[in-house]
Amino acid sequence: MMKIYFELNGEPRYVEIKPGEMLLDLLRRLGMRSVKEGCRTGECGACTVLLDGKPIRSCLTFAAKVKGHRITTLEGLGTPEDLHPLQEAFLETGAIQCGFCTPGMILVAHHLLSHNPDPSPEEVRGAITGNLCRCTGYVKIVDAVMLAAERKRKGEWR
Amino acid sequence: MKIVGKSVRKVDGIALATGQPVFTLDAVPPGAAVGKILRSPYAHAEIVRIDTSRAEELPGVLCILHHGNVPRIPYTTAGQGWPEPSPYDSFLFDRKVRFVGDRVAAVAAISEEIADEALRLIEVEYRELPAVLDPAEATAPGAPVIHDEEDARGIHDPEHNVAAAIDIRVGDIVRGFAESDVVVETTCVFPYVQHVPLEPHCVVAYLDEEDRLVIRSATQVPFHVRRIVARALGLPLSRIRVIKPRIGGGFGTKQEIVLEDVAAALALRVRKPVVMKYTRAEEFVAARTRHPMKVRVVLGAKKDGKIHAIEMDVLSNTGAYGTHSLTVLSNVGSKTLPLYNKAPHLWFHGKAVYTNLPVAGAYRGYGATQGYFALEVAVDELAEKLGMDPLELRLKNHIRAGETSPIFEKIGEGRAGKAQVVRSCALEECIREGARRIGWEEKRGKRIREGNWIHGVGMALSMQGSGITDIDMAAATVVMNEDGTFRLLVGATDLGTGSDTILAQIAAEALGVPVEAISVYSSDTDFTPFDTGAYASSTTYVSGGAVLRAAREVRRQILEVAAAILEEPPEELDLEGGHVVSRKSGKRVPLSEVGHRAMYVTDQRHIIATASFVAPESPPPFAAFFAEVAVDTETGVVRGGKFVAAADCGTPINPALAEGQLEGAIVQGIGHTLYEELRFSPRGRVRNPNLFDYRIPTAADVPDVEVVLIPSDEPTGPYGAKSIGEIGINGPAPAIANAIHDAIGVRLYRIPFTPERVLRAIRAKSSA
């Protein structure tokens, strides 16, 4: 057993981790249930979280690796009372069907828009290509990211 | 209409958008044991000996179940209505294994690691039996008999591995072809493909304070799970409660009982909560697949293009167990042949056969998808032979409102069907609008070249159903709270489709309140009324029908109370914006006043109603699909340029959700058309049970998908609605096959259209 410090959704955490424990399991153990297990082999993207702002597969990342780093899960982006504009846009465009891929999709989109506020639909497709969705055909997910980007450019959110 | 027809946000949207713990595995009781399944390494074998002693000695192992210590009760894992049309050919655990991945034993342990270790310590001695992997060989004399157990029931011909068979004749097929000027014959092959929901199957089973068994499961059919688990475990149905939380996609695979029976058996034995989940690899091997099929279609037509005779001959592979074998087989014909209803001579026949391969089951489209691939490629070939535009040929032959087909009466759900007239059909408009959007006139037959890439366009039509006539039943309860808000309790199962939302919209419309005034609680066998479940494109039509009836009865009760308050006859009153309003005097009373009065003040009663709706018929939605592709003649790569679908689902209750159903189904269909196929070793092992080797479409693979809803008004549906969930998946394979032919003059009859297959077909044609 070892203990590590890391920042989870803006809060410092000092937690015990098990030897060989994956970040996916640690985060779910800590109550971050938005982090989904779809394959455990890094192929589906449902377990995506942000490490210092960049998307990673938490199922392929050892928990020990996040020591000293900043982790953001969907829980850290917005809440039911205070939705993040990306969450708003996903709701508005009908981009959520079953919702299982949604956390990963929103986090990847968040990263895209943080460095490219004016993406083309192709760039959005490229950014989310590692995140599988079986319900929507990606059509409305791309619409949602484009809508959120437009609002970001208008200064409606940062 | 104020709420129906609006793209309101999903009622569960905020929870899903913010990652609330709403899925099965997000709420596992503390201290739950982990259940795991030991699977067969052989395609066909007898279990001679099973020794669990070493595994049981492992600290932390709580229980091991196998054929030697559970009751032997035949059942089907197919979550269908009762009596089930699928054979009872499954057991909780059996003495025999019938495919690589079949259940041998199950373990419950205090951790996943210990459960895995215990599986390794179970010693099993197998006597391997000859296996049959090819459905054509399965029925040959001397083929190994897969279901030789004496206690199975409902198998059509076990000695010849025939799970189900069908033979339907209309008119005189021999005369029909003799009278035809042109005859074409097409055989199309559909391989093993999988649903791949993002959330694999999972379940939590536990005993509550009253010792009742609670099953929280990612299922499309909570009421069928309750009934089937009761049978499989020999429990009274009343002792079981099934709850469906949010589900991470289903597409039919969660219409099957693949974990609930085992989890329940383990939980009863260890008297602790048991959590079970499939790994992605198990999902590929031991969940369910689409029925692989070979479908041969023969079309006879007159010179003017009138289709005169259709033969459809099906060989369906149901794998090791016969789940949905008869009904999927039936649907190959029943959902396709009525589309070309002018043909007086029809012969639909086929078999569903057992093989020692993974188990096929329900998958969105349910046989229609396989049928339309062959039928719509055949229609394209017929047009070619007649020298007609395939669009004109289809316009000449497709069914229209006011018409019928003898097939409706001949083929039902594992039994005879029921005659019905198509009351709503906007297919002609769908064809014209889709053609306009793809640029059919400008692009067809032009073979526009860009380097090695050649462009082509192709089309296909489809219809489906809306629920199963006289079988699918749903009930709904509408309850008024005293503040003028409502609770809607439905057995219907939202698997991500948005059915909770559209059912709330239907209730809100009838009650004159916004959707926010309706709280939906669904899919809990203890607290919601019965519903057959989410399959057969039934929810909007059947469950929606029940909701509308219940809401109208509550409306009647509200008006009765309001009439007393306003001192006007109820016939003069309307519900509008949360008020009862008099059309005559303009007087209004808020619903909260009606609610308080009814509950607390005068002539007290609870304003509440439950209503049932049985599908009186199964009105088909219709769709026209158009694909534009580019084929690289050097590499054989097929690139989707654009895909247009124009669909008639009656009134779209929520257009954004309806579009989403169509878009998702189309891309799933593009997946099986271009990429997906389970591959097997010569010994029957799945070679690609992972998402790297079994590739489903990514965002980068998807062409420009454009969907358009062309409304019609279905008089038997709630506010004119029909279904939309399945139909979209029927279009891509034939439309893309036909587009490839338009581009390069080569016909492909086996999906997926991989570069190797396309190249081989190009070479075969140029050497011919």
Residue that the structure tokens 């993974």 belong to: B358
Tokens of B223: 């009421």
Tokens of B516: 């926010």
Closest CA to B90 of B82, B81, B98: B98
Closest-CA distance, B732 to chain A, in angstroms, reads 13
Put simply, the answer to whether A125 touches B26 (Cβ < 8 Å) is no
Q: Which residues 360-389 of B have a C-beta within 8 angstroms of A?
A: none
Q: Is the separation of the CB atoms in B532 and B572 below 8 Å?
A: no
3-state secondary structure of A46: coil
- Cβ contacts of B195 on chain A, cutoff 8 Å: 134
The predicted structure's pLDDT at residue B74: 98
At a CB cut-off of 8 Å and minimum separation 6, what does B537 contact? B464, B465, B466, B467, B621, B723, B724, B725, B726, B727
Closest-CA distance, B113 to chain A, in angstroms, reads 12
Residue type, position B585, single letter? S
Q: Is the separation of the CB atoms in B376 and B267 below 8 Å?
A: no
**pLDDT over threshold 90, residue B85:** yes
* Partners of residue A11 on adjacent β-strands: A8
Q: How far is CA B311 from CA A87, A126, B170, B454, in A?
A: 51, 45, 10, 34
Closest-CA distance, A43 to chain B, in angstroms, reads 6
Residue of A nearest to B245 (CA): A98
Q: Which residues 186-245 of B have a C-beta within 8 angstroms of A?
A: 195-200
Provide the total of helices (H) and of strands (E) in chain A, helices listed first: 5, 5
**pLDDT over threshold 90, residue B494:** yes
- Cβ contacts of A27 on chain B, cutoff 8 Å: none
Write phi, then psi, for B141 (nearest 5 degrees): -60, 140
Q: Is A139 on the interface with B (CB under 8 A)?
A: yes
Residue of B nearest to A85 (CA): B17
CA angle A34, A36, A42 (to 5 degrees): 135
Residue of A nearest to B656 (CA): A94
pLDDT bucket at B767, cuts 50 / 70 / 90: confident
Closest-CA distance, B30 to chain A, in angstroms, reads 11
Residue that the structure tokens 């709630």 belong to: B718
Give the CB-side neighbour count of residue B345, counting CA atoms within 13 A.
19
pLDDT bucket at B415, cuts 50 / 70 / 90: confident
Residue B303 CB coordination number (10 Å): 10
Query: How far is the C-alpha of B733 from the C-alpha of B753, rounded, in Å?
Result: 9
Q: Give the CATH architecture of domain B24-129+198-249+253-286.
A: Alpha-Beta Complex (3.90)
- Tens of pLDDT along B125-155? 999 999 999 999 999 999 999 999 999 999 9
The predicted structure's pLDDT at residue A1: 76
3-state secondary structure of B217: strand
* Partners of residue B629 on adjacent β-strands: B456, B640
**Cβ burial, residue A89 (10 Å; 0-12/13-18/19+):** buried
Q: Is A121 on the interface with B (CB under 8 A)?
A: no
Q: Is the separation of the CB atoms in A91 and B13 below 8 Å?
A: yes
pLDDT bucket at B645, cuts 50 / 70 / 90: very high
Query: How far is the C-alpha of A102 from the C-alpha of A36, rounded, in Å?
Result: 10
Q: Hey, which CATH number is domain B293-468+617-767, 3.40.50.300, 1.10.8.190, 3.30.365.10, 3.30.428.10?
A: 3.30.365.10
Query: How far is the C-alpha of B291 from the C-alpha of B328, rounded, in Å?
Result: 8
If you classify domain A85-153 with CATH, what class do you get?
A: mainly alpha
Put simply, the answer to whether A80 touches B14 (Cβ < 8 Å) is yes
Q: How far is CA B300 from CA A15, B303, B400, B502, in A?
A: 73, 10, 21, 43
Tokens of B281: 């690899």
Residue that the structure tokens 């080797």 belong to: B693
Task: List chain A domain ranges.
Answer: 2-76, 85-153
CA Rg value for chain A: 15
Q: What secondary structure letter does DSSP report for A11?
A: E
Put simply, the answer to whether B17 touches A126 (Cβ < 8 Å) is no
Helix H or strand E encompassing B301: strand B293-301
DSSP string computed for B67-107: TTSS----B--B---SS-SS-B-B-SS-SEE-STT-EEEEE
Helix, strand, coil percent values for chain B (each to nearest 5): 30, 25, 40
Query: How far is the C-alpha of B54 from the C-alpha of B329, rounded, in Å?
Result: 45
Q: What secondary structure letter does DSSP report for B199?
A: S
CA B648, B653, B655, B660 torsion-angle sign: negative
Closest-CA distance, A55 to chain B, in angstroms, reads 17
Put simply, the answer to whether A80 touches B15 (Cβ < 8 Å) is yes
Query: How far is the C-alpha of B96 from the C-alpha of B40, rounded, in Å?
Result: 10
If you classify domain B472-614 with CATH, what class do you get?
A: alpha beta
Query: How far is the C-alpha of B342 from the C-alpha of B345, rounded, in Å?
Result: 9
Query: How far is the C-alpha of B742 from the C-alpha of B760, rounded, in Å?
Result: 17
Query: How far is the C-alpha of B78 from the C-alpha of B322, rounded, in Å?
Result: 9
Task: List chain B domain ranges.
Answer: 24-129+198-249+253-286, 293-468+617-767, 472-614
Residue B35 CB coordination number (10 Å): 28
The predicted structure's pLDDT at residue B202: 98
3-state secondary structure of B375: helix
pLDDT bucket at B122, cuts 50 / 70 / 90: very high
Mean pLDDT confidence for B187-212: 98
- Cβ contacts of B15 on chain A, cutoff 8 Å: 80, 99
CA A5 to chain centre: 21
Query: How far is the C-alpha of B696 from the C-alpha of B699, rounded, in Å?
Result: 10
Q: Is the separation of the CB atoms in B369 and B669 below 8 Å?
A: yes
Closest-CA distance, A148 to chain B, in angstroms, reads 14
Q: Is the separation of the CB atoms in B347 and B441 below 8 Å?
A: no
Q: Is A106 on the interface with B (CB under 8 A)?
A: yes
Helix H or strand E encompassing B39: strand B33-39
Mean pLDDT confidence for B477-505: 97
- Cβ contacts of A87 on chain B, cutoff 8 Å: 17-18
Q: Is A146 on the interface with B (CB under 8 A)?
A: no
Query: How far is the C-alpha of B647 from the C-alpha of B431, rounded, in Å?
Result: 9
Query: How far is the C-alpha of B390 from the C-alpha of B319, rounded, in Å?
Result: 36
Put simply, the answer to whether B696 touches A93 (Cβ < 8 Å) is no
- Tens of pLDDT along B704-734? 999 999 999 999 999 999 999 999 999 999 9
Query: How far is the C-alpha of B161 from the C-alpha of B158, rounded, in Å?
Result: 5
Give the CB-side neighbour count of residue B680, counting CA atoms within 13 A.
21
Residue B582 CB coordination number (10 Å): 18
For chain A, residues with pLDDT lower than 70 are none
Tokens of B31: 């201290």
- Tens of pLDDT along B647-666? 999 999 999 999 999 999 99
Put simply, the answer to whether B699 touches A141 (Cβ < 8 Å) is yes
The predicted structure's pLDDT at residue B276: 98
Residue of B nearest to A90 (CA): B17
Closest-CA distance, A65 to chain B, in angstroms, reads 22
* Partners of residue B705 on adjacent β-strands: B643
- Tens of pLDDT along B434-484? 999 999 999 999 999 999 999 999 999 999 999 999 999 999 999 999 999
Q: Give the CATH architecture of domain A2-76.
A: Roll (3.10)
Mean pLDDT of chain B: 97
Put simply, the answer to whether B21 touches A33 (Cβ < 8 Å) is yes
Tokens of B433: 């609008």
Residue B46 CB coordination number (10 Å): 14
Closest CA to A35 of A47, A22, A25: A47
